Structure 1
């Protein structure tokens, strides 16, 4: 490879800008909707529907991931990206003009479907358009595209909602989505020959719908905490288990060598980090009386650490990715464990700035490495399915760990007991996946990379 090649050279520039634009816009929408939703609920008189726009997006995004993976493995990702962006934009339009909460829920569901398709196909394009030497830097840029909206998204959405109304959060993204798609397609990204995939192969979309519904049921059950919630939780867990059995590579739960271990690593990282990321502001407000705005600042420290570390790992593509992944997992575990100090009354919560910044550094090293390991080991005809599995592992683990950590702390708060013991338990529980990730890192490279990977065969029994 030419030593001067980069993701910003003439051959890659428009593709890179197009990819990052779409990633950033999808991430921004995900961050902004939480800010705009209270105003939408108030105007549409839909308090009873409040959770449904979020659940609808989650369920359909899992379906979209599977559909995107199947499209990417059967033909060029170019038409799939076009269709996914059009669907996502249609969802923005439906949500933006909604006059009833039911219509808003439908719009969010349509958005989720399109977003799931696009995110997976962007990985397929990354595998086609960039060499293995450029992928660490590309995934470092992806990290910035995902994390930076977390810094400015809520503030920007708040300003738009205040001055233009909540509809502006949805409708205002439409021109930008079109611009990102135009850049990506004008660069010729995703122009690959159609692959000859057996037409009789059944889609896994129904299993994705089952898994997504299972996640939503578990989240709803955790919010109710009554007898009916127990039955709902059992049904949700059964649906999730059945769906994931068909959607994840065989051996993912056991972190089998190669692709299964890569997919498992993504789930371990996402669950550990986002479980605490969602919990930390609650701890700071309840235990130390911080304002909502101040309690979000340590999350900014984590986001900054993530972005900086992601750029750092991109500058060293020569370092084996499994070693970078292990280092990231260990730093994440250290940051998580140290964040337990945020619950100590005498410290006032201030160590969270440093400890969560350290956790962010761990994620910035580890998450791009997982993406590189996946693409480097995936045969071209399996990149779509493997990328979909990676995203599903992320979404599932994040949702479960966020629900679990919230359940542990909410139970202590509702009972009137001391908060800090529940926080310590939650931190201990969330640190375990990060430590496991460090152990799994050594298994993320197949023993024989010269042979086509058979570890990505989806479970059929």
Structure 2
């Protein structure tokens, strides 16, 4: 199935025997493939951070403040759908064709967004972008197994994961510089030469379809359609100030999610492993904690706008301050490797309390119009970093629990399900944040008054998610102590 032969083991160390050199990630064809895999993720991730930074400038130019959250929601929903069909596209077209499709979709969406005369057209572009970006992100993990020897898989995945840290530095800079000079369209244009170069390298260097691709992969189309519909219903009702309609939209979304759970129990093609939709199952409780954590992060979508409107920050600085959550997440993840003991229950609980503390700080300082007062800005930096750090130190232990509790024959489904759950929670959280912001007056009356009201509502409602997750984490910690050593231990 692989197009590049795996590294062979060293021969017996007898006289005259030749030892096969250890493969290197950054040399020869391996280096080219590693750069391709990481490069696709960088394009996707830079676009995420850049898009968040330029959105305040976008709405000032073409309007659509009430649809502010839709730019992120549609992007993420499209990414979910793309990630779900990636395996089938890869099997049908091979790495070369799959990456070409991903690059073309990403480039087309970027071009449409850059030329958008209205928010509606921009949302179309962001949706196409999200579809291409979702392909790029999922392909990086799927193609690693095909083009690199097994000895390098771990290092390649580490490289791919670390690219989000790089994007945290580059994305706000790209978006902020162009927004600073009122040229947000150029921020999108600036990505196009890299997309073209990426497509050329993919076509000329990546392997094509293998002769025997194995059996056809089944896709849970009905569950995916319901999942996307649940998010879009919440986003749609967020455009109206009618509280009753908003409540009805949330209820419909919850019913759709419950329907997905019922379908998953008897479906042949499933999104998640068995037990994922049952709170009585440790796996279901773990997935729910992940969903609640991701929901708590999503008001970050509005932070660049609120920092510019209420705290007098430039687009560039606001973009970097908003990226502190991602930076804190990265640092927290690295720290968790050193600090983890036992099954990681302590880190999960600590992380949840840190996230809650960061949100409380945000609730106190974000709504206050400070015009850049240094103490307030420092407090905001601390709150955003604390939120990211909290989720970072808990994340590896949560992922480990998913793999531990998933049935042995569904490990691959558990791995793919992590991406599905994470992206779904991000999209739903962003849609819910858009609903809360608009109900609070983000678009009407808008301006400083609307921004202040929205900031209060967003930060205050975000405390709900970690408060719901903490009792679940305590229950899981007690259950794991009763297991007395079932979980893999690190020390």
Q: Flag whether TM exceeds 0.5 (same fold).
A: yes
- Paired with 1:94 and 1:282, the residues of 2 have a C-alpha distance of 23
Distance 1:421 1:236, change over 3 A: closer
The answer as to whether partners of 1:74 and 1:194 remain within 8 angstroms in 2 is: no
Distance 1:134 1:360, change over 3 A: farther
Rounded Cα–Cα distance in structure 2 between residues aligned with 1:284 and 1:310: 26
Trace 1:231-310 onto structure 2 (pairs within 5 A).
231-243=248-260, 245-246=263-264, 247-254=271-278, 266-272=290-296, 274-275=297-298, 277-278=300-301, 290-293=311-314, 299-310=322-333
Q: For the residues of structure 2 that align with 1:154 and 1:403, how far apart are their CA atoms?
A: 22
Q: Displacement, 1:327?
A: 5.9
Task: Name the CA shift for 1:391/1:418 in 2 (closer, same or farther; >3 Å).
Answer: closer
Partner of 2:16: none
CA RMSD, aligned part only? 5.1
Query: In 2 relative to 1, CA 296–162 (structure 1 residues): closer, same or farther, beyond 3 Å?
Result: closer
The CA deviation string for residues 25-74 of structure 1, in whole angstroms up to 9 with x for no partner, is 11221222344445555665766766654444343322212211443577
Structure exhibiting the larger radius of gyration computed from Cα positions: 2
1:333 aligns with 2:361: no
Partner residue in 2 for 1:229: 246
Match of 2:125 in 1: 107
Cα separation, 1, equivalents of 2:454 and 2:215: 58
The answer on 1:145 being equivalent to 2:130 is: no
1:175 aligned partner: 193
Match of 1:427 in 2: 463
Q: TM-score, normalised by structure 1?
A: 0.71
Aligned counterpart in structure 2 of residue 215 of structure 1, from 220, 223, 231:
231
The alpha carbon displacement at 1:429 in A equals 2.9
- Structure 1 pair 440/216, CA: closer, same or farther in 2 (3 Å)? farther
Residue 291 and residue 230 in structure 1: after superposition, are their counterparts in 2 closer, same or farther (change >3 A)? same
Deviations 1:344-372 (A, max 9, x none): 57985744544543443344455467778
* 1:457 equivalent in structure 2: none
Q: Which residue is equivalent to 2:424?
A: 396
In structure 2, the partner of 1:117 is 135
- Change in CA separation of 1:179 and 1:383 when aligned onto 2, cut-off 3 Å: farther
Please tell me whether the aligned partners of residues 63 and 205 of structure 1 are also in contact (alpha carbons under 8 angstroms).
Answer: no
Contact persistence 2:351–2:393 (CA under 8 A): no
TM-score (norm 2): 0.68
Paired positions, count: 438
Residue 371 of structure 2: aligned partner: none
**Are the aligned partners of 1:92 and 1:170 in contact in 2 as well (CA < 8 Å)?**
yes
Equivalent pair of 1:211/1:243 in contact (CA under 8 Å): yes
* Equivalent in the alignment of 2:34: 16
Would the alpha carbon gap of residues 87 and 275 (structure 1) be closer, same or farther in structure 2, given more than 3 Å must change? closer
CA distance in 1, matches of 2:54, 2:455: 30
Query: Is the CA contact (8 Å cut-off) linking 1:94 and 1:106 kept in structure 2?
Result: yes
In 2: Cα distance, 1:71 partner to 1:383 partner: 21
Residue 455 of structure 1 aligns with which residue?
none
Q: Distance in 1 between matches of 2:285 and 2:141?
A: 18
Correspondent of 2:183 among 143, 154, 165: 165
- Distance apart, 1:214 and its partner CA: 1.8
| Residue 243 (structure 1) shift | 4.8
1:219-276 residue CA offsets vs partner (Å, 9 max, x unmatched) = 332453413334433334434444565533332133788987776565354334x146
Distance 1:375 1:193, change over 3 A: farther
Conservation of the 8 A alpha-carbon contact between 1:271 and 1:394: no
